[in-house]
Chain A
Amino acid sequence: MSEEAKGSWIGALGRKTLRLWRIVDTVSRAKAVDTLTVELEELENIFSLLVLGAFVGLPSPPIHLTMDLMPEMPHEFERMIEKIGTAHDPLGELFSALGIG
Chain B
Amino acid sequence: MKPELHFFIGKGGVGKSTTAALCALFSSLAGRRTLLVSMDPAHNQGDIFESRFGEKPRKVLPTLTVREIDADYWMTRHLKETRDQIKRTYLYESAFNLLDHFKVLQFSPGLEEYALLRAFEDVLAHAGHQDRIIFDMAPTAITLRFFSLPAISLIWLDELTKLRSLICEKKEIITKIQGPGQPVQGDRVMEKLHHLAERHTRLRDRLVSQATRIHLVLNNDRLSLVEASRIRKRLGDMDIRIEDLLVNRLPPGQSADEITRAFEPVKCATLPLATEALIGLPALRRFLETQGDIFPRLL
Contacts and interface: CB of A to CB of B under 8 A. Distances in A.
Dominant secondary structure at the A interface: helix
A70 B160 CA distance: 13
A72 B153 contact: no
B171 interface: yes
A21 to B, nearest CB: 14
Contacts, number: 97
Contacts of B125: none
Contact residues on B (Cβ < 8 Å of other chain), bracket: 35 or more
Nearest to B170: A40
Contact of B110 (A32, A40, A63): A63
B141 to A, nearest CB: 16
A74 B110 CA distance: 23
Contacts of A55: 101, 104
B88 interface: yes
B82 A67 contact: yes
Interface stretch (B48-56, B186-194, B263-271): B186-194
A74 B164 CA distance: 15
Interface stretch (A11-19, A46-54, A91-99): A46-54
B230 to A, nearest CB: 22
A77 B98 contact: yes
A101 to B, nearest CB: 28
Interface string A75-100: 00110010000000000000000000
Given A43-B163, A63-B108, A71-B82, A36 B174 contact: yes
B114 A73 contact: no
Given A50-B159, A69-B160, 4 more contacts: A61-B156, A63-B114, A64-B78, A72-B189
Interface of A: 29, 32-33, 36-37, 39-40, 43-44, 46-47, 50-51, 54-55, 61-74, 77-78, 81
